[in-house]
Structure 1
Amino acid sequence: MGHILSEHLMLGGKTKALVLLCAGIAGFFTCFDAYAQLRMVTYNTLTGQAFGGQQTARLPYSSTILEAIGLENVGGISKPIDVLILQEQFSMELSTQSFVDVLNSIYGAGTYARSTINGAVSSFNGGGGRPGLVYNTQSVQLIDELAFGTVGTGDLQPRASLRYQLRPVGYDASADFYVYNNHYRSDNPTSRLIEATSVRNNSDALGEGIHAIYAGDYNVTSSNVGMFQELLSSGNGQAFDPIDTLGVWHDNQFIGPTDIRHVHTQSPAVDGDPIDAEGGADGGLDDRFDFQLVTGEFLDDEGLSYIPGSYRAFGNNGTHNLNDRITSGTGASPTVLSALLNNSDHLPVVADYQLPAKMNAMLASVPTNVMQGASVGIDVFVENIANVLSVNGADELDYTITVGGSLLGSGSGTAFPLAGADMSQIFLDTSSTGFKTGIVTVASSSQQAANPVFNFPVSFTVGGGSGGEVFGVIAKDTFDESLKLNSFSQDPAVGAYSSNGDGFQQYQVGVSSSIPSQLVDDSLNGNPVDVQGMIDTSTKTDAWFGITDTVNGDNLPVSNPGEVTATWEFDVAGAFDMQVSIDMAAMGDFEASGVNGDRFNWTYQIDNGSVLPLFSSTITEDISQTYALADGDMFTLDDPVQMTTTDSEIVTLSNLLQTLTSPIDGLGDLLTIQLTAKTDGGDEAYAFDNLIIEGTTFVEFLAADFNQDGNVDDIDLTKWQMDYALGNGSDADADGDTDGADFLVWQRQYGQSTLPLLASTAAVPEPSGFLLLTLAALVSGSLTRPTR
């Protein structure tokens, strides 16, 4: 948490805190991603020709066009291309890379990258090249790509369909969307229908609610043909035309009373133009061949959605003459129109899409102490921080504010991008005295919203009193003693295994009737030829827990043979900022995969909240570990166990117990910790000890606990000596000064603690006689009091 502004205003008993604390995102109004809305372009670039034809971007025309698309302002949005969906690519390495190079020459090296899969083609002679994709790495990530469809001659599709899974930068998987890139056969309606059916089968299989764009060169003259109707048919992946301009497009200026010249995309050239000589189509603009159809999820104005009015055939504003060059119109500057004329026999199709909302929430600081009955409001700030160029660039943010524990109030609202932060208030429950905790939760219900939940733990004290926060042990199970352990259970139960070589239970040297040999190191305790073990039986005599060979004839449940669990429930009421520490060791050549792959995974749950990872095991097969037994013998084995903590620390376990610590989030009364393990084979073993939960709790301080650490000890005496006669720094009797009377209180309370049981420091011995005599002289006044 970081402080932005620190000031408290006291107004008639009502405290308003102005310290802003940020959780989850560094900086409230900073650290934005690339501009949120996406500019998507599909373009058949006529660069997939074989036998010496054009296979790379035509310069300077391609550069002129792509830069002009980025500069075009539509609906208040002007931005570089985010996704460029290409057709007629000879290969990704040659053709598509050339467009990456063009864009990077405009916007800087490394800004753009490309897809990698070269889909199958039936023949480059007339095959027209493959689909490909270029994307802006600052705004989107390419998560996956897939080539599919049956490619061949005749009625089969001439080139593979490509499906790209993309994710906006700064969002999670819920904001993923799919782009289907197709170049349908030009002369065979049966082939086009077969390909469209394959595409719909694929998108339908993704399930309900998918965000998909069907882009490419459709090679159709009307929306009435079978291929187009297949894309529009009902189902999970049902396609829609964002501009709802359906009918006969070929050689047609009007559909009903509507002039449709602005949707034509082929051909910007006529007979005799340079692109005609390179094998491109001529005849002027008279066809709508190029499309971005979308699923209904893009048309609901929620989350990722098409921005109405942004779909256009680039450079075509409907002013050209039907069947004439693009240069007969006024849809762009003469330079750009000339580039479109000479670059390809198709026009690019551009559309802009809003991204989901992105939430940031902040809580004003909470005062440490408040008076009983006071009205104390705490400001909650919520902002939609999607980094947009205009308000229509991102979805609105719908949110709620709820509280738990010793807090009161709730709130809800809608935050729009570029509108700044909304402010609401919740209140502290000051109806009773004592230490209080609570939690403020800000949650968004907006579709695909980034950072949809913020939790703010809160603690404060109502009433005067002398107390404060102390960090220490709040619960534990050392297998010799426990603290605030409500329950423990294990499955299978102790004694379930018939073999002495199998184990899943608590053990203690000299107490347990038998212990699997792979768990113990007897090299200094009667077995000098011992080659494996973790618990040194010559030194460790307290209890611990061991696991080995759980996959055996005694443990074969149908659901998951060999899996074992151990579960602890601890009382952690009133604690916060908790962490869990466990001493762990492992030795063996473990297996990472397969039905019986080894694993030792710890999870935690607070009350009825989510079950979250605590320590997660990984078997790392590309490294080895050297193990040292107590007698000094060394053994190196492959595939050790590595554990990952909640703060992403990775620890490679050895056969010596070492302490691993994981911070945990949340507040509540009951902490459930569970170990789920599975290990197969007698040469692999895992042991652990001392499950310790630490956290911060509120304690009342004794009068002589001058340094307020929960203990009355020699440190307090030192502080009293320093404060003596200099004020009330060690004023145990609350008379306004530090004097001998305060020492007498310290003497009576010496060695006492208010920390939770076993969380205090070691017992302090009685003060020595010499010390007491010296201090008695001071108390009696024989030592000179410093002048003031």
Structure 2
Amino acid sequence: MRKLGKALFLSLISLFLIQVRAFALTFVNWNVANRPNNSSQRLDMETVFRDIGRVDLLLVAETDSSSTFATRTALNNAFNTSSYRFRTASADGGGDRTGLFYNSSTLSLVGVSQLTSGLIHPTLRGLFRPVGASSTATDFYAYAVHLKSGSSNSDENIRASEASIIRNNANTLGNRNIIYGGDFNWNSSSEASPSAYNVFTSSGAGQAFSFFSGGNWRDNSSFLRFHTNSPRGAMDDLFDTQLVSSELFDGFGLEITGGYSVLGNNGSHLLNQPITTGNGASASVLSALSRFSDHLPVVVDYGIVGSNSRLTIASTTVPEPSVTVVGFGCVVVFGFYSRKRRR
């Protein structure tokens, strides 16, 4: 659920106090609109990547056979390296693909597969292992998701069906670290019965937890800081996010260790106006975001947590606004934050 107020005092009955090793990972999801296609777009993408600071995993929607190579070039240029690799799913009927780009100096791709049957946009699933990890508890599955767009009843039902296909696949993995990242194209948590959101978050082995509550997200100022579409026109849709399994906040292995950020969106922009009406990033970054794509990237920081983590009763004060992930009797609180660049 999302909490608002000047300051929020929470008694966290099960707050995991964690000891994080010096191994931080930044995962980003972004609908890149089949770009970059030219040098100007590539430079805009590099500007965005540099503002993030480092990208260990990039889950993309709407890439194609040419923009994938340009995206890899932008990643390598932004961070002065040659270590980025990528895999993409098969093209859909319009030539779009989902994809996974990863920094091979920090992540190893253990396996990859794709889901195609019943999906308009094939979903790519990767199994990753942090480089140098000594335990499979740090392995994780990442799904690059792109659900059906549109607001008709048919569109909503198709999204729910697609969510069921992805979720059924995840259920077969057991209790594993799972990240669903991408463009979900949904408007509310009740748009179908069940909705795509409810399919992902229903109980079971592959159950997902979100950084925001259910509700009517479109054109709703209560979810302003979660909106990702469209930075160049009307910021009013919560299409893009990362959903995570409970194993990513169980106190051991790969964990969510930082906050949740929609890059460029700190809630200062006007609802239904361009992202450039706010001050969520420098003017150059906001301009690059608005030029490059009709979606903003979502950034979440993860890390490897040691086995001596401990479960305790604690309380904390969280500045407004905050994000909570709730489930299995524990409440884990993360804040929106200004990201510090990492190299």
Give ranges in structure 1 of 5+ residues lacking alignment: 1-33, 71-79, 151-155, 255-259, 271-283, 358-394, 399-788
Question: Counterparts of 1:48-127 in structure 2 under 5 Å?
Answer: 54=37, 58-70=41-53, 80-91=54-65, 94-115=66-87, 117-124=88-95
Q: 1:176 to 1:56 in 2, by over 3 A?
A: farther
Q: For the residues of structure 1 that align with 2:214 and 2:89, how far apart are their CA atoms?
A: 33
Selected match of 2:149 from 172, 186, 196: 186
What is the alpha-carbon distance in structure 2 between the residues aligned to residue 157 and residue 247 of structure 1? 25
Matched residue, 1:141: 108
User: 1:57, 1:296 → 2: CA distance?
Assistant: 40
Hey, what's the Cα distance between the residues in 1 that align with 2:204 and 2:180? 15
Secondary structure class of the residue paired with 1:240: coil
Residue 62 of structure 1 aligns with an amino acid whose one-letter code is M
Q: Deviations over 1:405-442 (max 9, x none)?
A: xxxxxxxxxxxxxxxxxxxxxxxxxxxxxxxxxxxxxx
1:107 positional shift: 2.3
Q: Could you say if the C-alpha distance between residues 396 and 38 of structure 1 is closer, same or farther in structure 2, counting changes exceeding 3 Å?
A: farther
Whole-Å Cα distance in 1 between the matches of residues 241 and 206 of structure 2?
16
Aligned residues: 282
Residue 216 of structure 1 is aligned with which of 178, 182, 199? 182
Percentage of matched positions with identical amino acids = 37
Contact residue 265 and residue 290 of structure 1 kept, 8 A: yes
Distance 1:144 1:355 in 2: 20
What displacement does 1:397 show?
5.4
Question: Gaps (5+ residues) in structure 2?
Answer: 1-20, 311-343
Q: For 1:133, what is the secondary structure of its paired residue?
A: strand
Aligned 1:59-458 pairs, distance under 5 A: 59-70=42-53, 80-91=54-65, 94-115=66-87, 117-124=88-95, 129-150=96-117, 156-171=118-133, 172-187=135-150, 188-207=155-174, 209-225=175-191, 226-241=195-210, 243-254=211-222, 260-270=223-233, 284-308=234-258, 310-357=259-306, 396=308
Contact 1:217 1:290 in 2 (8 A): yes
Q: Structure 2 matches for 1:492-503, cutoff 5 A?
A: none
Distance 1:307 1:189 in 2: 33
- What letter corresponds to residue 183 of structure 2 in structure 1? D
Q: Output the CA distance in 1 between the equivalents of 2:119 and 2:279.
A: 37
Amino acid at match of 1:339: A
Amino acid at match of 2:256: Y
Q: Which of 21, 33, 40 is residue 46 of structure 1 equivalent to?
A: 33
Aligned-partner Cα distance in 2 for 1:57–1:146: 33
Q: 1:212 to 1:55 in 2, by over 3 A?
A: farther
CA displacement 1:670-690 (0-9 Å, x = unmatched): xxxxxxxxxxxxxxxxxxxxx
Q: Is the 8 A contact 1:149 1:195 kept in 2?
A: no
CA distance in 2, matches of 1:396, 1:244: 30
Q: Compute the RMSD of aligned alpha carbons.
A: 2.0
1:54 Cα offset (Å): 4.4
Partner of 2:331: none
CA contact (8 A) 1:57 1:98 kept: no
Report deviation, 1:57: 8.2
Return the alpha-carbon distance in structure 1 between the equivalents of residues 201 and 149 of structure 2: 20
Give CA-to-partner distance per residue, 1:149-185, whole Å, 9 cap, x none: 31xxxxx421211111110111143321000111111
User: What's the TM-score, normalizing by structure 1?
Assistant: 0.35
Contact 2:269 2:279 in 1 (8 A): yes
Q: Give, in angstroms, the shift of residue 146 of structure 1.
A: 0.6
Residues 51-109 of structure 1: per-residue CA shift (max 9 Å, x gap):
xx948981321010011011xxxxxxxxx111011110112xx2222111112113234
Query: Does structure 2 retain, via aligned residues, the 8 Å contact 1:43–1:347?
Result: yes
8 Å CA contact 1:47, 1:55 repeated in 2: no
TM value normalised by structure 2: 0.78
Larger Rg: 1
Mapped contact 1:57–1:99 kept (Cα < 8 A)? no
Deviation, structure 1 residue 250:
0.3
Cα separation, partners in 2 of 1:143 and 1:57, compared to 1, 3 Å = farther
- 2:241 corresponds to which letter in structure 1? F
Deviation of 1:231 (Å): 0.5
CA-to-partner distance for each residue in 1:595-624, whole Å, 9 max, x for gaps? xxxxxxxxxxxxxxxxxxxxxxxxxxxxxx
Q: Is this contact kept in 1: 2:27–2:299, CA < 8 A?
A: yes
Cα deviations by residue, 1:316-341 (Å, 9 ceiling, x for unpaired) = 00000000010101110001001011
Shift of 1:244: 3.2
Displacement after TM superposition at 1:35 (Å): 5.0
Rounded Cα–Cα distance in structure 2 between residues aligned with 1:167 and 1:234: 26
Runs (4 or more) in structure 1 with deviation over 3 Å come to 53-57, 395-398
The answer (yes or no) to whether the contact 1:89–1:131 under 8 Å persists in 2 is yes
Q: Larger relative contact order (C-alpha < 8 A, sep ≥ 6)?
A: 2
Distance 1:323 1:197, change over 3 A: same
Q: Secondary structure at the match of 1:215?
A: strand
Go from structure 1 to structure 2 and tell me whether the alpha carbon gap of 1:319 and 1:212 turns closer, same or farther (over 3 Å shift): same
Report the more deviating stretch, 53-62 or 80-89.
Answer: 53-62
- Cα deviation, 1:647-703, whole Å, max 9, x if unaligned, reads xxxxxxxxxxxxxxxxxxxxxxxxxxxxxxxxxxxxxxxxxxxxxxxxxxxxxxxxx
Structure 2 residue identity aligned to 1:47: N
2: CA distance, partners of 1:56 / 1:227: 37
Distance 1:174 1:302 in 2: 7
Is the CA contact 1:87–1:132 (under 8 Å) kept in the aligned structure 2?
A: yes
In structure 1, how many angstroms separate the alpha carbons of the residues matched to 2:240 and 2:127?
21
Q: Which residue matches 2:318? A: none
Match of 1:307, SS? strand
Give the partner amino acid of 1:286.
Answer: D
Q: CA deviation at 1:110?
A: 2.1
Letter aligned with residue 63 of structure 2: Q
Q: Give the Å deviation of 1:137.
A: 1.3
**Residues 35 and 139 in structure 1, CA contact (< 8 A), matched pair in contact too:** no
Structure 1 residues 43, 55: closer, same or farther in 2, change over 3 A?
A: farther
Tell me by how many angstroms 1:39 deviates: 0.4
Aligned partners of 1:285 and 1:206: how far apart in 2? 36
